Amino acid sequence: VLKEHEQVAQPTMRSMVLMEYKDPSKSLDSFPAAMRVLLADDDFTPKAVDRPSPALGQILIKTWAAAINPIDVKVTAGDLHVGGAGWAQPIPFTPGYDVAGVVEQLGDGVAGFQVGDEVFASNWALDEGQFIGQHDDNVPDSKFPKGPIGGAFAEYCVLPANKVSKKHPKVTFEQAAGVSMVGLTAMQALRFLSIEAGQKVLVLGGAGGVGFMGAQLARLAGAEVYATASARTKDYVAQTGAILIDYTQEKWYEKGITFDGILDAAGEANAFENAKKALRHGGSYASIASFDPGMEPTAHAPRMTNATFYLYKNNVADQDELMRLLAEEKLVVRIEKTFPFTKDGLRGLFEAQASGKSTGKNVLVLKEHEQVAGGWIGRNLCMLQ
């Protein structure tokens, strides 16, 4: 070195970094047991790491909000590596699939976006024509690198541009982050069920994120919607305009109602077998929470035209449609609680999701900005009724 010069340091950021996965027991209580172990450790302290740079076809997003989903709890607790699921466990790993923020930097080859755009996305398998999605699509193809997967619980997140949608100014960052995974799952599952106006649709688990979205979207399609709820959640689920069935007081499959389609968003025990008592001949069934129907859609024909376990895909056109419905206040997302990007905040975020008691989305907030605290984001709920 013949001349002293100033070196440019690699930019850093704070990120939740998972360096170890738990080894849940093989008992039926494995999931909560594993989560208890996880919550007892120090995995939740944000760490300083190198800030990623967008590669070809990628966008670097400065994260303003990131929503947690049940899948985040299962992944971090090690639950999806065992029991036949066989999910990979990359180290280090940053959880979080649903992100909303502002474009910070564009990689080469990106068109249609500019620095400063408000955007949102779900960093999941890209829709490339496959039947259902998968979580681990970070294998490069001939055009663009696909990864990384997850990564939303950090100050910056890099995603392929073809997974990213623009956020409408009327929609908050919390709402945009909260709608992605649950909205895409519900929309695509209902499409699989081929729901038409005037048909009867049953949503099992109306209080869950997917169930709440599914009941609204089915009503917007003109269906007559029924949804299961409990005494604790019935007022919340009633906001969708669905006809309520209190599953603690009555059995939905013994009410004498014949449904054209059933969306199982709860994983209720024996739901698939019981559906045969309530689904019309040739009806359709989709579950996002149970493998009981298998993954061959026509395997149960002719009793059921289509029946399957369903996993969503990232589809920008679907994301754009969800954003349109939110902006027009035809679709709503309730934010249950927001959490700061701190050790205690991350721990609280995971505890809230793992409790299974939330009525609405739990969202990590990384940027201070004007927001609606609690309650409904999207005022014109009466449009659904």
Query: What gap in Å lies between CA 34 and CA 343, rounded to an integer?
Result: 19
Q: For residue range 91-121, list pLDDT tens digits in order.
A: 788 999 999 999 999 999 999 999 999 999 9
Query: Residue 373: its pLDDT value, please?
Result: 36
Task: Return the exposure string of 213-233: e unless at least 16 CB atoms fall within 10 Å of the residue's CB, then b.
Answer: bbbbbbbbbebbbbbbbeeeb
Q: How confident is the model at residue 226 (pLDDT cuts 50, 70, 90)?
A: very high
Query: Residue 42: its pLDDT value, please?
Result: 61
Residue 132 has pLDDT above 80, yes or no: no
Nearest to 291 by CA among 33, 85, 123, 12: 85
Q: How confident is the model at residue 215 (pLDDT cuts 50, 70, 90)?
A: very high
Q: For residue range 242-260, list pLDDT tens digits in order.
A: 999 999 999 999 999 999 9
Q: For residue range 271-302, list pLDDT tens digits in order.
A: 999 999 999 999 999 999 999 999 999 999 99
Q: How confident is the model at residue 354 (pLDDT cuts 50, 70, 90)?
A: confident
Phi then psi dihedrals of residue 214, to 5 deg: -60, -40
Extract the tokens encoding 280.
């019309």
Report the alpha-carbon angle 378-157-66, nearest 5. Answer: 30
Query: What gap in Å lies between CA 207 and CA 211, rounded to an integer?
Result: 6
Residue 140 has pLDDT above 80, yes or no: no
Q: How confident is the model at residue 348 (pLDDT cuts 50, 70, 90)?
A: very high
The pTM assigned to this predicted structure is 0.89
Average pLDDT over the chain, rounded to an integer: 86
Nearest to 156 by CA among 112, 93, 105, 108: 105
Query: Residue 76: its pLDDT value, please?
Result: 82
Residue 377 has pLDDT above 50, yes or no: no
Q: For residue range 311-337, list pLDDT tens digits in order.
A: 999 999 999 999 999 999 999 999 999
